[in-house]
Amino acid sequence: MLVWPVRVQGDGSAEQVAAAIHGFNALEVGGKIPRPDLLIVARGGGSLEDLWSFNEEIVVRAAAESMIPLISAVGHETDITLIDFAADKRAPTPTAAAEMAVPVRAELLVEIGTFERRMMLCWQRGQESRRNELRAAARALPNAGDLLAIPRQRLDNAAATLPRALRANTHAHHRRFVEAGSGLTLRVLRAQIAHAAQRQIVCGERLKLSARALLRQRRDRFANLDLRLAASKSANAQAQRNAVTRDRERMLRLTERARRALATLLQRQQARVDASHKLLAALSYRSVLARGFALIRDEHGLALHAAASIDAGARLSIEFADGRVGVTADGTPTTPARAPQPAASKTAAPKRKAKIDQGSLF
């Protein structure tokens, strides 16, 4: 007995059961592992969800394709799965499947003896039935003399009429031979030969005339076709010249339109470039440097926005409108003194617009 343990519920159980059935069928007869004579797919009872793996298509197909007889013993007597319908036999329980697979030898001998007696009785009844049918058919058939009486009579009549029929047939063929021979004299043959020669001459003349007429007709037809071909070639050449002229004029018009369109496009692009250049010049910090300001950078090239971020001895780079100058910071930053504010007079001075702090550009 060989046991192939598999999962009988949960994920992957259906694939393992199908693989076990295919694996047993793949064993070779007389190989290292003996091929079983019977397969039993069994498990204990459970809920419908626990037995659902035996309802999967892969398990049912594996049971149907098994070349080894298979007994399905899944669950108890009330549990029914799809593998029960694909198996060769269904057992209500795994114990019943084992009893089916290994029956009692005495019971098998008794069952075989019963089958043997029943088979012998059936064979005897069949033979007796066929014997009775044969006797009934024999009684219904006529005897041999009655069957051959009519054919024997027809044979006697045919034998009596055969000599007269042969003589009549001989006379008829002789008469036809005499009639045909009377028309085959030498003078008739010469006349037929002369008539055939005359017909041959006439047919030859008619063939020559027909060939000349056909040749003349073909020559005239080819001449007409030549004239039509020449006219067609001339018309086609003129049409092609006209088409070339029209295409040349259309190409010149399109070329002029393309040149004007290209010039307009270049003018628009040049105007956009000039506007972009002016906007770039207006937004560039170099225009601020040109008005007398300077840009201070640290040693890494980053712009500095406050004096507090400069340490003593730091290397700085000051960029003017006409170039750069390297300097070294020599002290701590100082706050410039504010100019004294004039006393407010009683006479209100004209209000000035407040200066808006635009912040640093850097």
The CA-atom distances, in angstroms, between 43 and each of 8, 46, 68, 72, 80 are: 7, 9, 19, 9, 12
Q: Give yes or no for residue 341 having a pLDDT over 70.
A: no
298-303 own/partner pairs: CB under 8 Å, 24+ apart: 303/362
The Cα 35–Cα 27 span in angstroms is: 5
The whole-number pLDDT of residue 334 equals 62
Q: Give yes or no for residue 317 having a pLDDT over 60.
A: yes
Tokens of 54: 């035996």
Averaged pLDDT, 221-225: 93
Number of domains in the chain: 2
The whole-number pLDDT of residue 297 equals 85
Residues 6+ apart with CB under 8 A from 215: none
What one-character DSSP code corresponds to residue 58? H
Q: Name the packing angle between helices 57-65 and 13-26 (round to 10°).
A: 10
Range of the domain at 35: 13-102
Least confident of 2-16, 201-215, 220-234: 2-16
Mean per-residue pLDDT of the chain: 84
Residue type at position 326: G
The whole-number pLDDT of residue 206 equals 93
Q: Give yes or no for residue 27 having a pLDDT over 70.
A: yes
Task: Judge whether 280 lies within some domain.
Answer: no
The whole-number pLDDT of residue 357 equals 46
Task: Judge whether 281 lies within some domain.
Answer: no
Task: Judge whether 134 lies within some domain.
Answer: no
Q: Give yes or no for residue 186 having a pLDDT over 50.
A: yes
73 within 8 A of 40, measured Cβ to Cβ: yes
Averaged pLDDT, 281-286: 78
Q: Which residue has the higher pLDDT, 339 or 213?
A: 213
Which range of 32-41, 75-84, 181-190, 245-254 scores highest in mean pLDDT? It is: 245-254
Q: Which residue has the higher pLDDT, 35 or 305?
A: 35
The whole-number pLDDT of residue 181 equals 74
The whole-number pLDDT of residue 228 equals 92
Q: Give yes or no for residue 223 having a pLDDT over 90.
A: yes
Tokens of 53: 């793996």
Least confident of 95-104, 291-300, 352-361: 352-361
273 within 8 A of 349, measured Cβ to Cβ: no
Q: Which residue has the higher pLDDT, 347 or 165?
A: 165
Task: Judge whether 190 lies within some domain.
Answer: no
Q: pTM of the entire structure?
A: 0.34
The Cα 205–Cα 199 span in angstroms is: 10
Task: Judge whether 163 lies within some domain.
Answer: no
Tokens 């057992």 belong to residue:
91
The Cα 215–Cα 223 span in angstroms is: 12
Q: Give yes or no for residue 64 having a pLDDT over 60.
A: yes
- Decide the pairing of beta strands 315-320 and 295-297: antiparallel
* Proportion of the chain above pLDDT 70, given as a percent: 91
Scanning 141-185, the segments in alpha helix (DSSP H) are: 144-182
Helix (H, G, I), strand (E, B) or coil at 350: coil
| DSSP labels, 99-138 | HHHS--HHHHHHHHHHHHHHHHHHHHHHHHHHHHHHHHHH
The whole-number pLDDT of residue 337 equals 52
Task: Judge whether 31 lies within some domain.
Answer: yes
Task: Judge whether 309 lies within some domain.
Answer: yes
The whole-number pLDDT of residue 343 equals 46
The CA-atom distances, in angstroms, between 350 and each of 220, 340, 353, 357 are: 118, 20, 10, 21
What one-character DSSP code corresponds to residue 292? T
The whole-number pLDDT of residue 346 equals 43
- Decide the pairing of beta strands 323-328 and 315-320: antiparallel
What one-character DSSP code corresponds to residue 303? B
Averaged pLDDT, 112-134: 93
Averaged pLDDT, 31-59: 86
Task: Judge whether 297 lies within some domain.
Answer: yes
The whole-number pLDDT of residue 335 equals 60
The whole-number pLDDT of residue 345 equals 42
Which range of 227-236, 280-289, 305-314 scores highest in mean pLDDT? It is: 227-236
Averaged pLDDT, 209-218: 93
Of 102, 130, 154, which one is at a domain's C-terminal end? 102
Per-residue confidence band for 256, with pLDDT thresholds at 50, 70 and 90:
very high
Tokens of 283: 């937004």
The whole-number pLDDT of residue 102 equals 83
Of 102, 129, 150, which one is at a domain's C-terminal end? 102
The whole-number pLDDT of residue 182 equals 72
Residue whose C-alpha is closest to residue 38's, from 67, 81, 69, 5: 69
Residue whose C-alpha is closest to residue 13's, from 45, 46, 51, 44: 51
